[in-house]
Amino acid sequence: MKFINQPGVYIRGIGQLKVEKDSELSIREMGALAIIRALEDAEIEKVDAIYLGNMLSGSISNQQHLGPLVACEAGLKGTESVTLEAACGSGGAALRVGFMAIMSGLCENVVVCGLEKMSHSDKDFIIQSIATASDWEKEGSQGETFVTLNSKLMEMYIEKYKICPDSFGMFGVNAHKNAFTNPNALFQKKITLDQYLNSKYISGLVRLYDASPVCDGAAAIVLSKYPAIKNRPQVKVTASASSTEYVGIADRNLPLAAEGVRRSGQKAYEMAGITAKDVDFFELHDAYSIISTLSLEAMGFAAPGEGWKLAAEGDIFLDGKIPISTFGGLKARGHAIGASGVYQAVESYLQLTGKAGANQIKKDARMGMMQSIGGTASTTITHVMMRE
């Protein structure tokens, strides 16, 4: 087989919580529960390190220093535990550090957990807190939010490629259809294209169903030097790559080229020894429909100006050429910021092991790719996973 004996890191176990609008659990309890579930699934009791992905706990929950807090709550006092922050890509950043810890030989087993508790009575405060991941001097302090910034990208795209603003509708339809059968999703309801078209505009041409929601969630994954327990499919992370781009959109020469996404993806392709044609599904960072479009183009699944066609023509569905958001994605499973990248890893594992149930893609899933993005594609972290 073409990809047998690829170097990489094994996935031993997974754990996740249902994404909610307002979890009754504290952030330490959320993280600890996800970790305990992942360790139980992996059938191990101890790990060498814990890597947490989180962006907002310090500002929204007044709680920094999550590492020892969550480790002790999970019964792992004494274990190395640190927090990684890369804005909305924080979960992917934690996964990358876990991957590197094992590949370097310093660790044999680690647990990666993404967690975010965004419940807060002041919604404007949440929006402003998230906006700190923009270029604050040039964007956030001038009143820009991620809704307005993504609206600008969408308007640029529509103007450059002369397409109808309605062209992005099937991204939301697909996400909600897949979330409907995901018991851990926030929005378990289907929408029609007409509902998308009739939904309100929240900024410029960005409709309600183009944007991901504010929510709470936690997920965890155990990575190991050693294969999974017997009688289970063996899944490896075979590539991990990260790239940056100017944080401020106005500083970029080609903002619609998503050059940070492309660079990160190309590194991952080369590391895994694959091309876009080898990828069976793509868990992309669909926080906004325009980011889905740009990511599909930057990763080589569509030509510039044609990423939206993959959605419009059904190629992103579970039975399509390149399924995306297979459990609802950030749009409908929910975007609990620091947790999103780890939810993607959990969902990719379920696809590759044939345990996705009603959300299983229709072709035999052997190669999956996931991407975590911080800001408006200013940090991009790409991982490739494969079933041996």
Catalytic site residue 88? yes
Strand partners, 201: 207
Residue with tokens 């920094």: 64
Residue 183 placed within a domain: no
Residue 128 placed within a domain: no
Q: Which of 176, 215, 285, 335 is catalytic?
A: 335
DSSP letters spanning 206-260: EEGGGBPPP-BEEEEEEEESSPPPTTS--EEEEEEEEEE--SSGGG-S-GGG-HH
DSSP state of 167: G
* Element of type H or E holding 160: helix 146-161
Question: Residue 381 corresponds to which tokens in the numbers above?
Answer: 């972290």
Residue 42 placed within a domain: yes
Strand partners, 109: 224
**CATH code, domain carrying 106:** 3.40.47.10
Residue closest to 255 by CA, chosen among 382, 383, 155, 341: 155
What are the tens digits of pLDDT across the range 213-237?
Answer: 999 999 999 999 999 877 888 999 9
CB 281 within 8 A of CB 365: yes
Residue 95 placed within a domain: yes
**Considering its fold, how many domains does the chain have in total?**
1
Q: Which of 88, 107, 113, 215 is catalytic?
A: 88
pLDDT band at 3 (very low <50, low <70, confident <90, very high): low
What are the tens digits of pLDDT across the range 46-59?
Answer: 999 999 999 999 99
Domain that holds residue 306: 9-122+211-387
Residue 2 has pLDDT above 80, yes or no: no
Residue 374 placed within a domain: yes
Residue 194 placed within a domain: no
Residue 69 has pLDDT above 90, yes or no: yes
Residue 161 placed within a domain: no
Residue 190 placed within a domain: no
pTM of the model: 0.96
Mean pLDDT of the chain: 96
Catalytic site residue 383? no
